[in-house]
Amino acid sequence: MALSELSDRFRFILVRTSHSGNIGSAARAMRTMGFDGLSLVAPNRFPDPEATALAAGADDVLGQAEIHGDLVEALAGTTFALGLSARRRGVTLPELDPREGARQALAAARRGEKVALVFGNERTGLENDELSRCHAMVRIPSVDDFSSLNLSQAVQVVAYELRTVMLAEESTAADIQVPEEDVPADAEQVERFFEHLARTLDDIDFHKGRSPVTIMLRLRKLFLRARPDLRELRILHGILADAQRMAQLAGQDQNKSRT
Amino acid sequence: MALSELSDRFRFILVRTSHSGNIGSAARAMRTMGFDGLSLVAPNRFPDPEATALAAGADDVLGQAEIHGDLVEALAGTTFALGLSARRRGVTLPELDPREGARQALAAARRGEKVALVFGNERTGLENDELSRCHAMVRIPSVDDFSSLNLSQAVQVVAYELRTVMLAEESTAADIQVPEEDVPADAEQVERFFEHLARTLDDIDFHKGRSPVTIMLRLRKLFLRARPDLRELRILHGILADAQRMAQLAGQDQNKSRT
């Protein structure tokens, strides 16, 4: 199923939003994640230039927004509703984190259901009566002493989770293609580099009489961890060759001056 | 390990932020997820009443914010840096989604590393030069035709992912002990190595008139991927010093033979 077809089964419902700027920011947040179904329940002010400004180009989302008098009306046609809540509540609803909420919402959408994601007023959240219309509660795992996300941030997190779960389910079998040059070099090619490195360390008199074994082991470990590709190995070989050339020049001239 | 102790190992770095309101919103977003290490690189205006207003009480985060002149300075002391990017870029860095980025960042933090999360300017993002200081790129999986998240929304998504992964791992993760020497070198130490490497390539005449920029970018990528520890950096510095010594001998002797 196309992602866009699946995304069309979700509706973001903002209830009694005070600041119209938040409606705009929420529209933008939804749009970045591929959602455009927005419903507004008794917004304080809409349409509003502040909403349009903060939508930052997600005008289509604002233009198609449905406006309703109460949540019951806004939920018409949906079959699965998740209510966002910052606090743990007295309501005896299952409490999900956003990831598990996204999984359940997506499973419903795949069955052809229409899913509602319900966000309360900035200050007061959802009323218990409104939460009781929802099938589960989603709590974004904020810290206890600073638990209140901005409304559009909560919308962003939920929209992001939905899209991430969708993409993860979609790509399970997909092979990742990488450009040929980025394929790590094979063991033989890497060995040739280590041989060249060992010879160069001798040539530039790096060991100064100490055993080269430990150093080479450490360098092996470092470069094996990096998993160089062929292009990178070519650069490294080039550097070693130039260092050897310098050593040779130095040595030849030293020899000359000795004779 | 306590979550707060782990959270203290993360630093959110906002680079060249234009709108101070976004700094405030970002501080609030971080704070809801338990993070308070904020660094600002060349902010357009800070402190600013707009930032304070939108922080909505996260004044401690703003009050402790460090201000730096450039990203290199802000990265001092960190060992693992993730750069946020909205677009797929020409830079050949590993590209992670926020979840995988959070996993890798958290693994580093558990080893005792300091982790940087780097966010660019609202309009232009991070410069390639800035991205090249990062170990990997994180792309929030937005839709292609509307890919730009508000800056503070991106901060919220990343902070949310970090906290979610932390909470998920909390019950199962035993602290991984690694020998002290194996802790990757910090950004400053790695930069000093790159500077030494660049000087050495000049000294041994590696470039032969070609531009050093591409080569250095490729070498940066290779060594950042390997994440050398201090002992490994010492070995690499030693090799470079000997190659330079050879170049000097070769040069001196050449000069002598010319006179």
Residues 225-244 of A with CB under 8 A from B: 225-228, 231-232, 235, 238-239, 242-243
Predicted local confidence at residue A213, as pLDDT: 86
Residues A27-34 have a mean pLDDT of 98
Query: Within chain A, what is the greatest distance between any pair of CA atoms?
Result: 102
Looking only at Cα atoms, what is the longest distance across chain B?
Answer: 74
| Banded pLDDT at A2 (limits 50, 70, 90) | confident
Q: Which CATH superfamily groups domain A3-170?
A: SPOUT methyltransferase, trefoil knot domain (3.40.1280.10)
- SS3 of chain B: the string is CCHHHHHCCEEEEEECCCCHHHHHHHHHHHHHCCCCCEEEECCCCCCCHHHHHHHCCCHHHHHCCEEECCHHHHCCCCCEEEEECCCCCCCCCCEECHHHHHHHHHHHHHCCCCEEEEECECCCECCHHHHCCCCEEECCCCCCCCCCCCHHHHHHHHHHHHHHHHHHHHCCCCCCCCCHHHCECCHHHHHHHHHHHHHHHHHCCCCCCCCHHHHHHHHHHHHHHHCCEHHHHHHHHHHHHHHHHHHHHHHHHHHHHHC
CA distance A74 to chain B (A): 26
Residue of chain B with shortest Cα separation from A226: B226
Mutate to test the interface with B, among A227, A253, A257 (most CBs of B within 10 A): A253
A-chain residues near B256 (CB < 8 A): 253, 257
Q: Closest Cα partner for B26 from B153, B192, B170, B117? A: B153
- Please report the pLDDT score of residue A82 as a whole number: 95
CB of B47 within 8 Å of a chain A CB? The answer is no
Query: How much is the average pLDDT of A110-115?
Result: 90
Question: Chain A residue closest to B246 (CA)?
Answer: A247
Cα separation, B218 vs B91, in Å, equals 10
pLDDT in the model for residue B181 = 53
> A90 CA to chain B: closest CA distance, Å?
22
Q: Is the pLDDT of residue A76 over 60?
A: yes
Interface residue A255 vs chain B (CB under 8 A) = no
ipTM: 0.77
Q: Does B56 contact A215 at a Cβ distance shorter than 8 Å?
A: no
Distance from CA of A200 to the nearest CA of B (A): 9
- Average pLDDT on B20-46 reads 97
Interface test with B, best of A139, A152, A156 (most B CBs within 10 A): A156
* Whether A94 contacts chain B with CB within 8 A: no
- Residue B192's alpha-carbon distances to A101, A112, B186, B212, in angstroms, are 47, 58, 10, 17
- Within an 8 Å CB–CB cutoff, is residue A218 touching chain B? yes
- A249 neighbors B250 (Cβ within 8 angstroms): yes
Domain boundaries, chain A: 3-170, 184-257
Task: Tokens for A78, please give them.
Answer: 């949906």
Residues of chain B neighbouring A143 (CB-CB closer than 8 A): 31-34
Q: Which residues contact A9 (CB under 8 A, 6 or more apart)?
A: A109, A112, A113, A114, A115
Which chain B residues touch A211 with a CB distance below 8 Å?
A: none
> Across residues B176-181, what is the average pLDDT?
48
Nearest to B222 among A142, A206, A228 (CB): A228
Is pLDDT above 60 for B63?
Answer: yes
Tell me how close the Cα of A59 comes to any Cα of chain B, in angstroms: 12
Candidates B10, B28, B181, B242: best to mutate against A (most CBs of A within 10 A) is B242
Residue of A nearest to B156 (CA): A153
Nearest CB among B204, B223, B227 relative to A246 is that of B204
B136-138/B38-41 β-pairing:
unpaired
- Sort out which chain A residues have CB atoms less than 8 A from B28's CB and list them: 149-150, 153
Which residue shows structure tokens 């008098």? A69
**A-contacting residues of B 108-137, CB under 8 Å?**
none
* pLDDT at residue B171 is higher than 90: no
Report the mean per-residue pLDDT for chain B: 89
Rg, chain B, Cα only = 21
CATH code matching the domain that covers B184-257, chosen among 3.40.50.1820, 2.70.98.10, 1.10.8.590, 1.10.150.530: 1.10.8.590
Whole-number Cα distances in Å, A231 to A15, B195, B214, B222:
56, 22, 12, 11
Q: Which of A19, A157, A182, A248 to mutate to test the interface with B (most CBs of B within 10 A)?
A: A157
Contact A146 B31 (CB under 8 A): yes
B32 to A219: CB separation less than 8 angstroms, yes or no: no
Q: What is the mean pLDDT of chain A?
A: 88
User: What integer pLDDT is reported at residue A191 of this predicted model?
Assistant: 85
Strand A10-15 and strand A115-119: the pairing is parallel
| pLDDT per position as a tens digit, B218-245 | 999 899 888 899 999 999 999 999 999 9
| A132-161 tens-digit pLDDT | 888 899 999 999 999 889 999 999 999 999
B181-216 pLDDT, tens digit each: 577 888 999 999 999 999 999 999 999 888 888 899
The answer to whether the Cβ–Cβ distance between B164 and A141 falls below 8 Å is yes
Tell whether A253 lies on the interface with B, counting CB pairs under 8 A: yes
Contact B160 A150 (CB under 8 A): no
Q: Can you give the pTM of this predicted structure?
A: 0.79
Burial class (CB in 10 A: 0-12, 13-18, 19+), A247: buried
Nearest CB partner across the interface for B140, out of A58, A142, A160: A160
Overall average pLDDT of the B151-167 stretch: 96
C-beta separation of A118 from A126 below 8 A: yes
Say which residue, B162 or A188, is predicted with more confidence: B162
How is residue A62 annotated by DSSP? H
